[in-house]
Amino acid sequence: MLDEGLNKREIQRILEKKLSSDCSYNSGYILGSMCTDANEFGKNIYCKYISKNLGDPGLFPGTAELEDDLVGEIGELFNGKDIIGSFTTGGSEANLIAMRIAKKLRPDIDEPNVVLPVSAHMSFDKAADFLNIKLKKAKLKPNFELDMEHFKSLINEKTCGVIGIAGTTSLGLVDPVSQIGKYIHGKDIFFHVDAAFGGFVLPFLKLLGYNIPPWDFSVEQVDSITADPHKMGMGIIPSGGYFLRNEKIFERTGFEIPYLAGGNFKHLHIVGTRSGGTVIGFWAIMQYLGIQGFTEVVKKCMENTEYLSENIRKIDGIKLAAEPMMNIVGITTENGESICELDEELRKLKWKLGKFMKFNLIRIVIMPHVTQAHLSHFIQDLKKVVKKLNLA
């Protein structure tokens, strides 16, 4: 650490140099990330309220009320009524909260397990590691849809929770949430839906006329949902959301925090100090864009998704891993060759893609920062690489 501080201009100069190797979203090369630049207006609002701490809501009752309003509003967007919840540091914390609740609600089970698709996000593996829950992973069918028969067969008397995904990490597919719901109906099993990505896509796709299977609180057995502002909500990093149907579950499983300056309260979070600014920022984005604005963004992303898909279909040697349900495209080889070399060659050309070796696919996420011009450039490179590797 320096003894004497530097002046601001000097610091900015050093910083710009140090950060020059960072990629930027608007370069177009980031094709495999579920994050994007936050909405500009939301960012400006956020920067005004950076120091609000929802870890001590009694100090910031206005922000706390705004959070409750926003949770309710999103709960309604997800076809729920009087939904409670709060904003987290991201989908991982929200999923960890859900897994903890599943375990806590069944203290009678000695070695609890949770049944989930093999396509579930890494955060469930982390949560299982932390919570010492056994994960029972259901296979996918060759078309990457959940093998529902296998899923059902994994549920047993030690199952405390089941997970459905609305927007899988690898392909953006939606699990048969209502089938899962029907199967566990009447069983004492917690049902969580991970819509970290899909939460702020699916409601708008539906309005655009897409055929969207039920995935949210409209399925009566769904107990809670993860949905992330910092993905397709275009919110500030880091912000996730956890939405819970039943207040009694919150009462039973929340942590009591006794000593805060703002007075006692209860929460489900791993974290103590918690950004109020990200919540205010996302509230502002929701008010600013409205349903129409979000729908417009999703429409654009889907047009670009279709543009990319159409072009991939035309390239011999590679194919779509599955028909996209939302703005995520999976590329695989036509004849089953490993995608590793393909990924490596594209990486040499600066493309930053998601590589899913367990499904042998490359993931492209058509976030709002991705334009048709970027995709056109990518398609050219993709064609060259496919040719170079003799995949056709």
- Residue numbers 79-138 binding a copy of itself by CB under 8 A: 89-93, 96, 100, 121-123, 125-126, 129-132
Distance, in Å, from the CA atom of 225 to the CA atom of 196, rounded to the nearest integer, reads: 8
User: Which residues, 6+ apart, have CB-to-CB distance to 245 below 8 Å?
Assistant: 80, 83, 217, 222, 223, 224
Binding mask 360-379 for a copy of itself (x = CB under 8 A): ---x----------------
Instruction: Between 355 and 374, name the residue whose CB sits nearer to a copy of itself.
Output: 355
Residues 174-233 that bind a copy of itself (CB under 8 A): 228, 230
Instruction: Between 84 and 196, name the residue whose CB sits nearer to a copy of itself.
Output: 196
Shortest Å distance, C-beta 179 to a copy of itself: 27
| Count of CB atoms situated within 10 Å of the CB of 170 | 23
Q: Is residue 73 a contact point for a copy of itself (CB under 8 A)?
A: yes
Shortest Å distance, C-beta 245 to a copy of itself: 18
End-to-end CA distance of the chain: give it in Å, rounded: 56
Shortest Å distance, C-beta 96 to a copy of itself: 6
For a copy of itself, which residue of 109, 257, 320, 379 counts as binding (CB under 8 A)?
Answer: 257
Shortest Å distance, C-beta 153 to a copy of itself: 27
Q: Name the one range near a copy of itself by CB under 8 A: 155-163, 265-273, 330-338, 381-389.
A: 265-273
Strand 328-333 to strand 318-320: parallel, antiparallel, or no bridges (unpaired)? antiparallel
Shortest Å distance, C-beta 86 to a copy of itself: 14
Degrees to nearest 5, angle at CA 32 with 28 and 37: 55
Residues in binding contact with a copy of itself, number by CB under 8 A: 110
Q: Name the one range near a copy of itself by CB under 8 A: 143-151, 219-227, 319-327, 349-357.
A: 349-357
Shortest Å distance, C-beta 104 to a copy of itself: 9
Instruction: Between 49 and 178, name the residue whose CB sits nearer to a copy of itself.
Output: 49
SS (H, E, C) the chain: CCCCCCCHHHHHHHHHHHCCCCCCHHHCCECCCCCCCCCHHHHHHHHHCCCCECCCHHHCHHHHHHHHHHHHHHHHHCCCCCCEEEEECCHHHHHHHHHHHHHHCCCCCCCCEEEEECCCCHHHHHHHHHHCCEEEEECECCCCCECHHHHHHHCCCCEEEEEEEECCCCCCCECCHHHHHHHHCCCCCEEEEECCCHHHCHHHHHHCCCCCCCCCCCCCCCCEEECCCCCCCCCCCCCEEEEECCHHHHHHHCEEECCCCCCCEEECCCCCCCECHHHHHHHHHHHHHHHHHHHHHHHHHHHHHHHHHHHHHHCCCEEECCCCCCCEEEEEECCCCCCHHHHHHHHHCCCECEEEHHHCEEEEECCCCCCHHHHHHHHHHHHHHHHHCCCC
Q: Which two tokens stand for residue 152?
A: 């059902």
For a copy of itself, which residue of 136, 192, 355, 374 counts as binding (CB under 8 A)?
Answer: 355
Instruction: Between 12 and 335, name the residue whose CB sits nearer to a copy of itself.
Output: 12
Residues 141-180 that bind a copy of itself (CB under 8 A): 169-170
Binding mask 2-41 for a copy of itself (x = CB under 8 A): xxxxx-x--xx-xx--xxxxxx-x----xxxxxxxxx--x
Shortest Å distance, C-beta 185 to a copy of itself: 29
Q: Is residue 71 a contact point for a copy of itself (CB under 8 A)?
A: no
For a copy of itself, which residue of 213, 254, 262, 317 counts as binding (CB under 8 A)?
Answer: 262
Binding mask 290-319 for a copy of itself (x = CB under 8 A): xxxx--------------------------
Shortest Å distance, C-beta 150 to a copy of itself: 23
For a copy of itself, which residue of 178, 179, 246, 287 counts as binding (CB under 8 A)?
Answer: 287
For a copy of itself, which residue of 191, 215, 283, 378 counts as binding (CB under 8 A)?
Answer: 283
For a copy of itself, which residue of 184, 289, 302, 370 counts as binding (CB under 8 A)?
Answer: 289
Instruction: Between 184 and 284, name the residue whose CB sits nearer to a copy of itself.
Output: 284
| Among candidate residues 78, 240, 105, the one with its CA nearest the CA of residue 114 | 105
